[in-house]
Homo-oligomer: A and B are copies of this chain.
């Protein structure tokens, strides 16, 4: 069916529109604490960008009754790619809409779809340019966010998701598997970084996180230090740490509605077509954190619901494949530091807490 359909030429993940229940509280978090730059504010929306961005925004906060994600938006290379996007999704029987004036300010002609996985995807090319504040060091803060790096989505069937995204022109850079062939997560890119979005196994469709990049590791530490000074350290869910997957240094925060935000720096170039795919064993204790720090269960469990094109919550489909949480933390789950030693590779003094630190 899709073989003679050309996928739109996607440049990169460009922005996410999230619904927040308290615009003032969200503004305090994203603007006052994280220091995202306000491009525009209306009564019910705030448009934010990173310091190195030249398009109108990387994040739209829309006031609404229930926290959710309204759009995962990708920029395409040319206006014609919007026609290709329409065709691509119509061929898959998806709900497709188009708005020549854009769904939000600053963006022109746009296509919004509810994709085969249930996610609200948007594609656009036309966009208002704004000042790239890369050189504006007089207004940078210690934890300056300089780029939107990627999205991360929760979906019950990762191989199906990977197949669809590959048709859409994405390439897998890394994944997590087990020896039975179950895929727990996959990282997929258009721009030559480790990902523009990742597919994480779980009940979905849900949004796992949106990630912004800093230049250096100390910038991420500065964000934590500031949260401590503000007595908002409980916004920190996981990290900072070093990912195994992606090799990036990371931090996960939760915004006032519980939306998860990652701060991320220093993955690697992946732009060659034969870029080697890195597969991690789900039991490798260093896959999610290179230093073996246990992953807090909420990180596996929680996610943001997504909206359909009419603004209603998309119903969840349960994951039936094995769960990474259960495989590694649950009653029969285990992890190892050294594959050849298996589960016993945890040191004696750590074994007690290690399992307990993981338990629900």
Contact = CB atoms under 8 A, between A and B. Distances in A.
Interface of A: 11-12, 52, 54-55, 75, 77-78, 129, 132, 134-142, 144, 146-147, 191-192, 215-218, 221-222, 224-237, 240, 242, 244, 247, 249, 254, 258, 266, 268-269, 271-276, 285-286, 290-293, 296-298, 302, 337-338, 345-347, 349-350, 352-353, 356-357, 359-360
Contacts of A242: 221, 224-225, 228
A349 B254 contact: yes
Among A77, A221, A232, A276, max chain B CB count under 10 A is at A221
A266 B215 contact: yes
A203 to B, nearest CB: 16
A139 B236 CA distance: 19
Among A269, A298, A356, max chain B CB count under 10 A is at A269
Majority DSSP secondary structure for residues of A touching B: loop
B338 A226 contact: no
Contacts of A225: 137, 140, 242, 290-291
A263 B266 CA distance: 17
Contacts of A269: 12, 52, 147, 191
Nearest to A32: B138
Given A231-B338, A345-B234, A276 B129 contact: yes
Contacts of A275: 54
Contacts of A141: 141-142
A240 B272 CA distance: 31
A271 B221 contact: no
Contacts of A286: 228, 231, 233
A137 B337 contact: no
